[in-house]
């Protein structure tokens, strides 16, 4: 059974919650990525995506030079451990409709890597089509109470 350690990307760059939103966008551009783990020292505290920057900062009128990563990041992050089976993490990604999962050390919860849908597609092809389909299917908005 293949483990996450076999396919994850190591040496992942992260950003601190005190950094500016502009710096996060610059790093995403430099690294050609759409998300960055947010770490307080070595400890994972969140994720910031290009969508977080667009929706939570720019659309809300926050100046990228003034706003901090910690203000717009997603703090409720799904993560996994290096020794978890790939199939288990793929199921987690499908259930949560997420494309990337930070990998943390089991003892310290420090960031040790990240596993993305791309890693799965290139290094573990079984079930990737189904996982991609489940991640990509639009979630239904909660409209209960709108027509009350």
Per the structure, the complete domain to which residue 115 belongs is given by 4-135
Q: What is the band of 103 on the pLDDT scale with cuts at 50, 70, 90?
A: very high
Tell me, yes or no, whether 141 lies in a domain: no
- Give the residue among 131, 12, 8 at the shortest CA–CA distance from 80: 8
Q: Which segments of the chain are extended strands (E)?
A: 35-40, 43-49, 80-81, 100-104, 111-116
Please give the structure tokens belonging to residue 21: 């939103």
Tell me, yes or no, whether 145 lies in a domain: no
Tell me, yes or no, whether 144 lies in a domain: no
- Tell me the pLDDT tens digit for each residue of 31-79: 999 999 999 998 999 999 999 999 999 888 998 899 999 999 999 999 9
- Computed over every residue of the chain, the mean pLDDT equals 86
**What is d(CA 98, CA 144) in angstroms, rounded to the nearest whole number?**
24
Instruction: Answer whether 69's CB lies under 8 Å from 48's CB.
Output: yes
- Say how many domains are in the chain: 1
CATH number at residue 60: 3.10.580.10
Q: What is the band of 110 on the pLDDT scale with cuts at 50, 70, 90?
A: very high
Q: pTM to 2 decimals?
A: 0.80
């Amino acid at each position: 059974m293949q483990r996450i350690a076999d396919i994850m990307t190591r040496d992942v760059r992260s950003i601190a919650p005190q950094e500016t939103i502009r710096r996060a966008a610059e790093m995403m551009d430099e690294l050609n990525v759409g998300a960055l783990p947010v770490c307080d020292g070595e400890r994972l505290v969140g994720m910031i995506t290009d969508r977080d920057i667009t929706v939570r900062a720019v659309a809300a009128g926050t100046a990228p030079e003034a706003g901090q990563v910690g203000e717009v990041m997603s703090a409720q992050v799904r993560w996994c451990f290096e020794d978890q089976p790939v199939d288990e993490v793929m199921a987690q990604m499908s259930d949560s409709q997420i494309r990337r999962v930070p990998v943390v050390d089991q003892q310290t919860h420090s960031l040790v890597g990240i596993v993305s849908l791309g890693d799965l597609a290139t290094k573990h092809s079984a079930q990737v089509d189904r996982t991609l389909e489940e991640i990509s299917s639009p979630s239904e908005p909660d409209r209960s109470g709108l027509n009350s």
